[in-house]
Amino acid sequence: MIDYRDREYPYFQSSPLKPGDGASDIWILYRADQNLFYLGHKIYVPITPFSSVWQQLSLDQYLSIWGIKLINGSLPTTAPFPNFWSKCLVVTSNQNNNPRVIWGRHPTFTTTNYKVFRAVSSIPAANPLTLSYSLIHTTTAANIFEYTDIDLRLGNWDYIYYYVKAYDSGTDTYSPISNIAQTRAGFYKENSEYSRSIISSNTFSLATNYPNPFNPSTTIGYQLPTKSFVTLKVYDVLGNEVAVLANEWQEAGSYSAQFTTSSAYGGKQLASGMYFYTLTAGKFTDTKKFILMK
């Protein structure tokens, strides 16, 4: 999925060498001989696919314009996109055929985190707003824009509807809802490590990260049955603390945290290999391993 309006995005409208040439557009290259896709950006003139500005796209990889083109290390605004919040939510799938909900940064609302809501209907809804929606997930930060619904498997079953709200914990207020994204799926139970990692809503649990191995980012899910003080930390094989993904009180619910290679302390480069992440919530502690593969 790519936003064709990138050339109109005011942060990157032109090349410093030739204003107005659209040199900062994002390009997608497909190599039929390799059956691989490549992404290029900040391009001044068309160049060979093996230039350093091209990167191979991996299966299930999610990229955003602001993720590719960070400005001063912070997220650019989405305000220049007309009606962004009412059109940004989409549903796709992951390798396990679970619904994967993806949205973008709210252009105007002061956001602490995002909350994902879901409704299920056995028949198509003439007006999805009339359905009963339940809060199914809260992100741990304002820079996480996706959630994988591992309760469901895509297929010709129920009609599933999602929307997202931005939340400001300082004022305890919500933004208006995003657009409603629809798909079809069914609830399932599968004897796999990924589906077993999230269990009863009355139980603390730490999910296997996805994807694993990863590069440059992966998502870690966990569940809290009660309000708890939560820490989620990443360590290397020597036990050195690499990053802190959560360190705060959180309400009961389902959460996800995103770890990227750029979130390591001091922005240091991480070597390929095995790392560990540990969740501590009240008296509950669990540790899982994951692999960075460059």
Q: Do residues 105 and 44 both lie within one domain?
A: no
Q: Dump pLDDT digits (tens) for 118-149.
A: 999 989 999 999 999 989 899 988 888 999 88
Q: Dump pLDDT digits (tens) for 53-74.
A: 566 766 666 666 655 555 444 5
**Where among 153, 187, 221 does a domain terminate?**
187
Q: What is the CATH number for 212? A: 2.60.40.2550
Domain of 279?
199-292
**Where among 160, 187, 214 does a domain terminate?**
187
The predicted pLDDT at position 251 comes to 84
* pLDDT beyond 50 at 231: yes
Q: Does residue 253 form part of some domain?
A: yes
According to DSSP, the residues that pair with 162 across neighbouring strands are 118, 181
Percent of the chain predicted with pLDDT > 70: 70
Q: Does residue 149 form part of some domain?
A: yes
The predicted pLDDT at position 72 comes to 43
Q: Do residues 134 and 175 both lie within one domain?
A: yes
**Where among 118, 152, 187 does a domain terminate?**
187
How many domains does the structure of the chain reveal?
Answer: 3
* pLDDT beyond 70 at 3: no
Q: Does residue 139 form part of some domain?
A: yes
Q: Does residue 38 form part of some domain?
A: yes
Q: Is 86 helix (H, G, I), strand (E, B) or coil?
A: coil
The tokens describing 243, both together, are 């990053």
The predicted pLDDT at position 25 comes to 57
**Residue 222 burial by Cβ neighbours in a 10 Å radius (0-12, 13-18, 19+):** buried
Q: Do residues 213 and 284 both lie within one domain?
A: yes
Q: Dump pLDDT digits (tens) for 72-115.
A: 445 556 776 778 899 999 999 877 788 999 998 898 999 999 99
